[in-house]
Structure 1
Amino acid sequence: MAKSRAYDLVVFDWDGTLMDSTANIVNALQYAFTEIGLPIPSREDCAYVIGLSLQDAMKYLAPTMNESDYQEIVLKYREHYFENANQMVLYDGATQLLEKLEASGHFLAVATGKSRLGLNDALKATGLEGVFHTTRCADESFSKPNPAMLFEVMDRVGMTVEQTIMIGDTTHDLQMAKSAGTHAIGLTHGAHAKEALSKLPNRAILNNLHELLEWFEA
């Protein structure tokens, strides 16, 4: 496969992009609010915050929450999320896509709203440890849509914005790419709808990872 469109660095979001975890995240957020007796956010609002750091997600879902409630709700969220982590799998085609991109000479990276502990656990569970040249997490940098994670990834592997493309399922991913000056592709199989993704600059809005591989091979 020839290297596509001069993008030497392909940066992936994790949740909702490579891993089918949207439902578990939404359920865990609603569970956490239920457990501590706060008004339960809608599924739409919970899906919207996927990709943000937990702190920024909580600020959006409960802007008047006090510090003690915040700490408790994060604990409840993580409790429910990890209890159901074994139900989450990579999207169909993820392994094939990554193998073909790696074989064709692309640098691969992850920029995610997950914590470092959460991403490391996910990489180990999916057998993708060692696949990515570098990864950045929200607890190591600024949360999306701030472009800091993308800049840090590019700096780590010595790539420019012209050589880089961001792949994500949320407007936060595409806005981060816009702010960083890189190109982006949106995937509709995750948290945010095609209509919302299409409002931000993109090279394509695709339905799944099979279509993404076809795009790179075109």
Structure 2
Amino acid sequence: MSAGTLKLIIFDVDGTLVDSQAHILASMEGAFDAMGLPAPDRAATLSIVGLSLPQAMMRLIPDASEAVRTQLVEAYKSRFAQLRQTGDGRALSPLYPGAMAGLQALAAQEEVFLGIATGKSRRGLDHLFEIHGIGPLFHTVQVADDHPSKPHPSMVLTCLRETGVAPEHAVILGDTTYDIEMGRAGGIHAIGVDWGYHPSTTLTGAGAATILSDFTELPPALDQLWGRG
């Protein structure tokens, strides 16, 4: 593959770039408490990270009415926003070790575009961009407000369209099966990470080309994937 070929690396956010579990778990507990319902346990809540909120609530409480699930979504948003305003954003949602350096190194390569595909809202993502200062690194940003929930490939297809990169020269990095399945459905490569919220064995089963244990492993994994290593 020639050095001048345009490439696209799409990143999931929660569980991949940012360890937001404290914020997510507190928001989910607050939402269920507000509705007088028993909150799901930690494993159940983390299992739905990456899905859009309506789909997440459907997974967590499938026997509830649509009206109750809609109220839970709104209660979650309210609690999430409250924590964002009153808490330490960096402490609630810190970048994973090596994430900043890895992003900056990739962004410095002229032939590389960086993208985001997240189940977060635009407002939530803008907050993370503000506290961590990473927004300018990304050329294409897709959020839950504008797309069907993962694993639908809409986010991936839009990233490809906005950057003009061919699918075979694009990859998604994610911590959940939803990310891997979305990437594969969009016709691009998928790489999993083992520091997030789904077991690495499930990522391999979903079609991840490889599993990373550290951000320093990403460049050689990309070289191998794209035939330069």
The Cα shift of 1:194 comes to 1.1
User: What residue number does 1:182 align with?
Assistant: 188
* 3-state SS in 1 of match to 2:135: coil
The Cα shift of 1:214 comes to 4.7
User: What residue number does 1:94 align with?
Assistant: 99
- Residue identity over aligned pairs, in percent, reads 36
Distance 2:62 2:145 in 1: 20
Structure 2 unaligned spans of 5+: 224-228
User: What residue number does 2:42 align with?
Assistant: 43
Distance 1:75 1:99 in 2: 35
Structure 1 segment 1-218 matched on structure 2, within 5 A:
8-82=7-81, 83=83, 84=87, 86=89, 87=91, 88-105=93-110, 106-216=112-222
1:14/1:125 Cα in 2 relative to 1: closer, same or farther (>3 Å)? same
1:7/1:212 Cα in 2 relative to 1: closer, same or farther (>3 Å)? farther
Distance 1:214 1:206 in 2: 10
Distance 2:191 2:88 in 1: 27
Mean Cα deviation higher: 150-159 or 21-30:
21-30
| Number of aligned residue pairs | 216
Structure 1 unaligned spans of 5+: none
Distance 1:142 1:85 in 2: 30
The Cα shift of 1:206 comes to 1.1
Cα deviation digits, residues 166-185 of structure 1 (max 9, x gap): 00000000010111111110
Taking only aligned residues, the RMSD between alpha carbons, in angstroms, comes to 2.1
Distance 1:3 1:81 in 2: 43
Runs in 1 of length 4+ with deviation above 6 angstroms? none
Normalising to structure 2: TM-score of the pair?
A: 0.86
Normalising to structure 1: TM-score of the pair?
A: 0.90
Does the aligned pair in 1 maintain the 2:122–2:143 contact within 8 Å? yes
User: What residue number does 2:226 align with?
Assistant: none
